[in-house]
Amino acid sequence: MKRLQDKINEEGRVISAAVLKVDSFLNHQIDPVLMKEIGDEFADRFANSGITKILTIESSGIAPATMAGLNLGVPVIFARKRKSLTLSENLYTGSVHSFTKNETNDISVSKDFIDHNDVVLIIDDFLANGQAVLGLLDILKQAGASLAGVGIVIEKGFQNGGKMIRDRGIRVESLARIYSMENGHVEFYEEVKTI
Amino acid sequence: MKRLQDKINEEGRVISAAVLKVDSFLNHQIDPVLMKEIGDEFADRFANSGITKILTIESSGIAPATMAGLNLGVPVIFARKRKSLTLSENLYTGSVHSFTKNETNDISVSKDFIDHNDVVLIIDDFLANGQAVLGLLDILKQAGASLAGVGIVIEKGFQNGGKMIRDRGIRVESLARIYSMENGHVEFYEEVKTI
């Protein structure tokens, strides 16, 4: 997605060869117009997939997922990172390991909102080691739901998450797929537009 | 806002005289179409206020705030509840006390995104004791920013937050203002439509 790549080039800050900061439009400040375009792009790529629900994780997945849900006309569920007192029962729970923080946290989704009749699109802001997607896939398995695929705003293509998930036969659509961030420069995989 | 009141009547669950659960469309599962209508309503009510930024708190404020930002054409910033490692410097920090959990937590916003030139609309999902809004107001004060007002999706009008904030001369627009939740029934203040 050209406009997203341009935005990353203009405003993204490469902190190290593995860390990209996009706090000015995705992870802290949000650009709603860009989020709408991202949501529309996800909706286009997964049109005719029979999607009934979108699943994401708080907090940075919420804006792009909600815009995709608006276009597709389906509800969006955000997995919670901490168990809330009012949500303590009736939950699907998955684990997400963070290599950066070297800790494992639970994520949870109420059983009220996903079941075996659902066809779910997973959306998240970043794909790196794929641990968040694994946690969400575990939740969908517990629910007996079908998976339409995974929509990612920014994939760090030089980390192993994308390969790991695609190797399971899962469709992954990344709107910006980074080949390398060596020398402080973001280099994208050549964009192949599938129409 | 009639459609929001109807949704609360249809899907809201009164857990006690003070606790309303709206997990099916706002706090866990999100109804994107309703969020769009809510965002448009905020934009209408605060039109011509010269708003340059919207400020909310993760996670449930993000969807309505992003839709309002889309309509108004301004960026949305969500205050973070935990300090992230990559965000540890250059922060405005406020405190939010939770009477429910009896704990005080910090919220923070990067100094990169709000300054004294900004006119800010605060948006949040719920207004009860007003502690979250106080934390956000403290951040705006640190930034030297101007306040356009406060937009709330659901106000528990029987708690003191709304009065406390309005008594400071701040404009508060609540799209659904609850008078009472006694006996498991949600009763709204009579809706006064200001055009």
| Residue pLDDT, tens place only, B28-66 | 999 999 999 999 999 999 999 999 999 999 999 999 999
Distance CA A147, CA A165 (A): 12
pLDDT of residue A85: 47
Asked whether the beta carbons of residue B30 and residue A78 sit closer than 8 angstroms, the reply is yes
CA–CA–CA angle B19, B20, B25 (5° rounding): 150
One-letter-per-residue 3-state SS of A46-68: CCCCCCCEEEEECCCCHHHHHHH
Predicted confidence (pLDDT) per residue in A101-121, tens digit? 889 999 999 999 999 999 999
The CA distance from B173 to A103, in Å, is: 41
Q: For chain B, how are helix, strand and coil distributed in percent, rounded to 5?
A: 30, 30, 35
- Which of B25, B35, B80 is closest, CB to CB, to A28? B80
Confidence of residue B21 (pLDDT cuts 50, 70, 90): very high
Digit-coded pLDDT (tens) for B124-166? 999 999 999 999 999 999 999 999 999 999 999 999 999 999 9
Assigned CATH class of B2-83+90-188: alpha beta
CA distance A165 to chain B (A): 25
Q: Considering chain A, what is the average pLDDT of its residues? A: 94
Nearest CA to CA, how far is B169 from chain A (Å)? 28
Q: Which residue out of B13, B14, B16, B59 would a mutagenesis test of the A interface target, given it has the greatest number of A Cβ atoms within 10 Å?
A: B59
- 8 Å CB contact between A51 and A120: yes
Mean pLDDT of B185-192: 84
Q: What is the model's pLDDT at position A100?
A: 79
ipTM of this complex: 0.95
* CATH class name, domain A33-179: alpha beta
- The pLDDT tens digits of the residues spanning B93-102 come to 999 998 878 8
Distance of alpha carbon A190 from alpha carbon A177, whole angstroms: 8
Of A62, A6, A42, A80, residue with least CA distance to A174? A42
pTM comes to 0.95
Q: Identify the H or E element spanning A124.
A: strand A119-127
